Chains A and B, each alone.
Chain A
Amino acid sequence: MSMDLLELVNSRPILGDGAMGSILQERGFKSGDCPEAWNLDRPEAILEIHQAYRDAGCDYVETNTFGASTIKLARYGLDAKVDEIVAAGVDLARRAAGDTCLVGASIGPTGALLEPYGDHTRDQLAEAFGRAATVLEREGVDFYLIETMSDLNEAALAIAAVKEVSKKPVAATMSFTKGAKGHRTMMGTSPQEAGIELIKAGADLVGTNCCSGPEAAAEIITEMAQSTPLAVIAQPNAGLPELKDGRASYPESPEAMAEGAGNLLACGARVIGGCCGTTPAHMASMGSVIKGR
């Protein structure tokens, strides 16, 4: 693909990637396993998932590196393998993407909290993000997607770490829950504040992911758009999970997600993907609406 993410977004609405984590379970992923370790242990499974999303029409696939920071990998005793895990993640996504779609580098939260409320320093987080970003850039991704963030400070550190090593576009999305005061992250940030601060930190595009569904995403994007015209990314879950026979199932059908995608377009979203519970079938269905316009 010759256009970069920003050119693409300016030319037409684009279909983002679908879920990785919730799909792994169908392929024998056991609780307690490290999802990113599959880049080394079950590379064929990761490759097939990327290929299925490419074939569903996704304009980018995201590397399976969401939790590939030294801080998070240390919980599995895998921090020493971070470079290998990240490099394999880029390779698998690139092999699936070919010339058909872009490769987005996924960077999720470390799972650690910053001082003074948490026990990690800014330097520790910056170092962890920097390590992953260095390998992602070296291996050759097309853009960065910093996602599922709750803490603006952590998101800003991730953006800065990427900017330190790369000139490629950086997208940043946060995860909000609706409470008494409306949509807020766990740390209390509103969509409007998130929009302002993420752009200030250097993000090229902003938005939300891992929210309860396309309706919530539409509300969040609408609010965020009040503070920045760059609030264009929506990657909602296929609804809230319900547990059936010990397994999680997500209630929204591909058709319902496609309808949600149409509404998101009307709200100004330009990059519409899927988070937990979405499948290639969901993405294909959403694509028919997004690319049909």
Chain B
Amino acid sequence: MELAQLKEAVIAGDMARTKSLTEEALEAGIEPASILNDALISGMDKVGELFKVNEIYVPEVLLAAKSMQNAMGVLKPRLVDSGIQPRGKIVVGTVRGDLHDIGKNLVAMMLEGAGFEIIDLGNDVPAEKFVEAAVENDAGVIGMSALLTTTMHVMKETVEMLGEKGLSDKVKTMIGGAPVTASFASEIGAAGYGDDAATAVDLAKEFLEG
């Protein structure tokens, strides 16, 4: 049993094989943290790289992320037993008035694949709910998605609300979605803009790990 095989199974999006290899790795006595970091997260890192340069597209990324989720079903109890903490907590959602969630789900799965704990608020999420969820869960990042040009203002409201509550340093905002641009992000004072799901992962690492 080699972790390289497991990593390859994640990259290939082979759900059944990812799960069975994870079970084998645990039986072989490999540390859960090592399985997570050296195979699963490392595999998802590679998936993110391939996605960024258009070597693979949304279906392949979703299959890889689902494979990782499968493996996590097996691995999670063991990680908890050994006291492994997630890399940090991130609140995600599609903003108020917007019911499009394909992009948001992709980002959530990629962030989860990178080892973050995700609090997914779904779609149609108002500014106050993003802020409340971040405070309640002690999350360091809020990720917001919009597909419609009519809903992007909710991102601004969320950023402003964090500012009013003095939370701007503690909770970073990152935004994305088809009509969203880097210049819009800087205009509203969001901490980051992700052109794709892989960039969202890079931003989260930067915000939560420096």
Contact = CB atoms under 8 A, between A and B. Distances in A.
A111 B101 CA distance: 8
Interface string B55-93: 011111011001000000000000000000000000000
B151 interface: yes
Interface residues of A, number: 28
Q: Which of B58, B101, B123 has the most CB of A within 10 A?
A: B58
Interface string A36-50: 000000000000000
A293 interface: no
Contacts of A32: 96-99, 124, 151
A180 B98 contact: no
Contacts, number: 72
A31 B97 contact: yes
B205 interface: no
A188 B58 CA distance: 7
A80 interface: no
Contacts of A186: 57-58, 102
Given A188-B59, A248-B149, A181 B54 contact: yes
Nearest to B97: A31
B28 interface: no
Nearest to A179: B54
A292 interface: no
A150 B99 CA distance: 17
Interface string B123-154: 11000000000000000000000001111110
Q: For the side of the interface on B, what is the size category?
A: 20 to 34
Contacts of A241: 149, 179
A29 B148 CA distance: 12
Contacts of A187: 57-59
A180 B54 contact: yes
Contacts of A25: 150
Nearest to B179: A241
Nearest to B124: A32
Q: Which of B60, B99, B153 has the most CB of A within 10 A?
A: B99
A248 B58 contact: no
Contacts of B58: 117, 150, 186-188
Interface in A191-223: none
B57 A188 contact: yes
A180 B52 CA distance: 9
A180 B53 contact: yes
A289 B63 CA distance: 46
B46 interface: no
B55 to A, nearest CB: 8
A13 to B, nearest CB: 30
B100 interface: yes
Nearest to A186: B58
B194 to A, nearest CB: 15
B184 interface: yes
Interface in A51-100: 75-76
Contacts of A113: 62, 102
A248 B179 contact: yes
A189 to B, nearest CB: 8
A118 B62 contact: yes
A243 B149 contact: yes
A190 B23 CA distance: 38
Interface of A: 22, 25, 29-32, 75-76, 111, 113, 116-118, 150, 179-181, 184-188, 240-241, 243, 246-248
Given A32-B99, A186-B57, A248-B179, 18 more contacts: A31-B96, A32-B124, A75-B123, A111-B100, A111-B102, A113-B102, A116-B66, A117-B58, A117-B59, A117-B60, A150-B58, A179-B54, A184-B57, A188-B60, A243-B149, A246-B152, A248-B149, A248-B152
15 contacts: A29-B150, A30-B97, A31-B98, A32-B151, A76-B99, A111-B101, A113-B102, A180-B53, A184-B57, A186-B102, A240-B179, A243-B152, A246-B152, A246-B153, A247-B149
